[in-house]
Amino acid sequence: MPIRLICLDADDTLWHNMRHFNATEDALLDLIAPFADRAITHERLTACEARNLKLYGYGAKGFTLSMIETAVELVGDPLSAGLIADILAAGRALLSHPVELFDGIADTLDALAERGRVVLVTKGDLLHQEAKLAASGLGDRFHGIEIVSDKTADTFRRLFAREGVDAAEAVMAGDSLRSDIHPALDAGAWAAYVPQPGAWSHESATVPSDHPRFRQLDRLGDLPAWIDTLYAR
């Protein structure tokens, strides 16, 4: 059965993302350093993010709120308006960072478009994701755009139904085992994992190395060649 639908993640698959979140976290650690050890601040922020996901969702805005909440917890009464303003400034910088594409992304998208319909499937804040896609200059290369609050097997099943394809005719590629790989496999699709350094711990999961519909790639540019092997089957 040929591949007819090619789904791609955005953040840290098409363009750099976590490097900006990590830099923003470093800024918070510096700001709170007079009040708390950096390791403790990191631990508290990670826990705060995890419990706030169901309230704020994914993205820079929720991350900024979690930074402020972490500062309130660790600094207490000495927390000044100036410190809050500095945290907000770090959050605004995160929202406005330039979009830096990985090497060869445009050519890769063109090659994938020769093999099937290419759909962007990304999660996070709608406005921010739309802004990053516009800044990337890649929007016209996609058959469809899906910006969702989270990625689950049902997310992919609904997408496959809308596109009129069987799950076995679809492939998902991304850098997150939790959000890109396992849900796509659970929905019956193929999945290509393209890991990136500095990944968010929340997105970690077991590598399904023995799964017949899974492949780990060194770079997204290797995806067209892998899809060709699926055609050959």
Going along the chain from its start, the domains and CATH numbers come out as: 5-15+100-232 (3.40.50.1000), 18-95 (1.10.150.240)
The arithmetic mean of pLDDT across residues 55-84, rounded, is 94
Cα separations (Å) of 136 from 107, 132, 214?
14, 6, 28
pLDDT in tens, 107-145: 999 999 999 999 999 998 889 999 999 999 999 999 999
What local confidence, expressed as pLDDT, does residue 133 receive? 95
- Residue 101 CA to residue 113 CA, distance in Å, equals 18
Q: Tens digits of per-residue pLDDT, 151-187? A: 999 999 999 999 999 999 999 999 999 999 999 999 9
| Alpha-carbon torsion angle 206, 211, 217, 222, nearest 10 | -150
Tell me what pLDDT residue 95 has: 93
For residues 146 and 120, the answer to whether their CB atoms sit within 8 Å is yes
Residue 232 confidence (pLDDT): 63
pTM: predicted TM-score of the whole model, two decimal places? 0.90
| pLDDT above 90: residue 14 | yes
Locate 15 and state its tokens. Answer: 């363009």
- The amino acid present at 152, given as its one-letter code, is T
| Across 184-207, average pLDDT | 86
